Structure 1
């Protein structure tokens, strides 16, 4: 099992409508046939020193194995998301775990 966790910090001038479109595009990634499970979230209202709540969106995608992850990376839905929405990224951090 591979967990692909992406944290997105969107630019400060991103509008509410752009954020809605961003989230909707993230949701399309569920259509990639190798995706086992997908969760899109925003920071939970948890105030602890060890919790980072500065990001805008969290995306967690689960795959059976590394081959599935690699297929996802080159899939047209993933590439379309990057093409259309990377202009909104201020910062992105990815954690991949097995």
Structure 2
């Protein structure tokens, strides 16, 4: 398995309507055929020094293998999401693990 965890920090002036549209676009990525498990979330209310709650959205996707990840990267739903939503975020960090 390969875990692909993406944290998005949206720009400070992003409206609630834009945040909703961003989330809706993120959720379309679940339809990529190589996705085995999928979760979109926002920071939890857990208040501990080791928990980062500074991001706006979290996307976690599991793939069977690197080939599934590679398919996802060039899939039209993924490239379409980037084209549509890139303007909303100011920072992205990705953690991939196998």
Q: If the length of structure 2 is used for normalisation, what is the TM-score?
A: 0.99
Cα-to-partner distance string for 1:3-36 (whole Å, 9 max, x where unaligned):
0000000000000000000000000001100000
Secondary structure of 2:44's partner? coil
1:89 offset after TM fit, Å? 0.9
1:79 offset after TM fit, Å? 0.2
Gaps in structure 2 of 5+ consecutive residues: none
Superposed, 1:1-98 pairs within 5 Å as 1-98=1-98
1:43 offset after TM fit, Å? 0.3
Give the ranges of 4+ consecutive aligned residues of structure 1 lying more than 4 Å apart after TM superposition: none
Secondary structure of 2:35's partner? coil
Gaps in structure 1 of 5+ consecutive residues: none
Q: If the length of structure 1 is used for normalisation, what is the TM-score?
A: 0.99
Secondary structure of 1:50's partner? coil
**How far apart, CA to CA, are the structure 2 residues paired with 1:32 and 1:17?**
25
1:82 offset after TM fit, Å? 0.1
RMSD: 0.4
1:62 offset after TM fit, Å? 0.4
Cα-to-partner distance string for 1:40-71 (whole Å, 9 max, x where unaligned):
00000011110000000000000000010000
